[in-house]
């Protein structure tokens, strides 16, 4: 029987405020503290705190058999310390069970491993110190941003004393995008067949949306791409041109005719999605 250990990745960037022409030379503080506080409070109440309570309950009811790992960026931990210390306390409570492992990563959830080895090592050490200070444990496994892996990166990670590193399933093989697309489509199809519901997803790369658009109910814009116009257009159902074909919605295996949706009418898209889910829930 295979043993599965879930790991959850948490990151919240420090958001920048709107910086106008007339602020140049007059205002040298670039962060939007109001937005940072509002967002971290909302996510803590709706996600972090209830999720941690559920995980703690599962650990207790399973007699200690349920185990998870967390990879939390340093900048996310900083915001929790400032605005939502109760979230830090909930992670401390999980750490005290002995069933939760904290992974190491780059402090700012950065791509420094690709171009600046010294900055990479500095961020990893800073992250390691933050985890040890808050939770009293030293990470033994490293998780790089977006699971990026190479022999050079693994050598640096090994030199820093880590016993393992999370990465793609087989680092000895070349990336196979087609195989990955087929695998994720099979996963979505199985979810639809077993539950009757389609999934939603965060859209990090708009170019990949076309490979899953017939299986997703909707896509959301992530925190790092909220100001990107291409992300906004694709997630709204607009492909940049009214000449593009209509987007069909249809339950898998349904004999009902496809309902066309105008590609640049988000409100109509939302209505169609809600109608689709209403039918599936009956």
Q: How many Cβ atoms from other residues are within 10 Å of residue 281's Cβ?
A: 8
Task: Give me the phi and psi of 108, to 5 degrees please.
Answer: -100, 20
Based on the residue annotation, tell me whether 81 is a catalytic residue of this protein.
no
The DSSP call for residue 104 is: B
Residue 210 and residue 245 in contact, taking contact as beta carbons nearer than 8 Å: no
Burial of 80 (0-12, 13-18, 19+ CB in 10 A): buried
In this structure, the dihedral spanned by the alpha carbons of residues 119, 123, 126 and 130, taken in order and rounded to 10 degrees, is 170
Q: Can you read off the two tokens belonging to residue 85?
A: 């210390």
Q: Where are the alpha helices (DSSP H) in 96-244?
A: 117-135, 151-159, 177-195, 229-235
> What angle is formed at CA 101 by the lines to CA 97 and CA 107, rounded to 5 degrees?
130
Q: How many Cβ atoms from other residues are within 10 Å of residue 253's Cβ?
A: 8
Residue in 146, 186, 193, 202 annotated catalytic: 146
Residue 251 and residue 217 in contact, taking contact as beta carbons nearer than 8 Å: no
Residue 92 and residue 134 in contact, taking contact as beta carbons nearer than 8 Å: yes
Residue 36 and residue 51 in contact, taking contact as beta carbons nearer than 8 Å: no
Give the catalytic positions in this structure. 146
């Amino acid at each position: 029987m295979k043993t599965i250990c879930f790991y959850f990745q948490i990151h919240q960037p420090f958001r920048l405020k709107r910086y106008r022409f007339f602020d140049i030379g007059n205002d040298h503080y670039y962060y939007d503290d109001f937005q940072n506080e509002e967002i971290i409070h909302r996510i803590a109440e709706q996600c972090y705190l209830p999720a941690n309570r559920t995980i703690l309950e599962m650990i207790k009811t399973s007699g200690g058999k349920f185990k998870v790992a967390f990879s939390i960026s340093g900048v996310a931990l900083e915001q929790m310390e400032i605005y939502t210390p109760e979230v830090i306390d909930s992670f401390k409570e999980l750490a005290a069970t002995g069933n939760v492992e904290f992974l190491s990563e780059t402090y700012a959830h950065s791509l420094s491993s690709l171009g600046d080895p010294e900055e990479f090592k500095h961020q990893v050490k800073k992250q390691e110190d933050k985890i040890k200070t808050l939770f009293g444990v030293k990470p033994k496994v490293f998780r790089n941003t977006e699971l990026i892996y190479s022999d050079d990166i693994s050598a640096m990670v090994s030199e820093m004393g880590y016993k393992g590193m999370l990465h793609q399933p087989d680092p000895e093989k070349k990336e196979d995008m087609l195989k990955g697309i087929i695998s994720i489509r099979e996963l979505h199809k199985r979810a639809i067949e077993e539950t009757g519901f389609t999934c939603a997803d965060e859209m990090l790369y708009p170019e990949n949306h076309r490979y899953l658009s017939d299986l997703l109910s909707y896509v959301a814009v992530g925190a790092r791409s909220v100001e990107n116009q291409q992300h906004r257009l694709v997630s709204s159902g607009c492909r940049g041109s009214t000449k593009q074909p209509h987007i069909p919605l249809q339950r898998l295996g349904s004999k009902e005719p496809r309902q066309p949706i105008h590609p640049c009418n988000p409100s109509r898209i939302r209505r169609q999605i809600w109608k689709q889910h209403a039918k599936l829930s009956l």
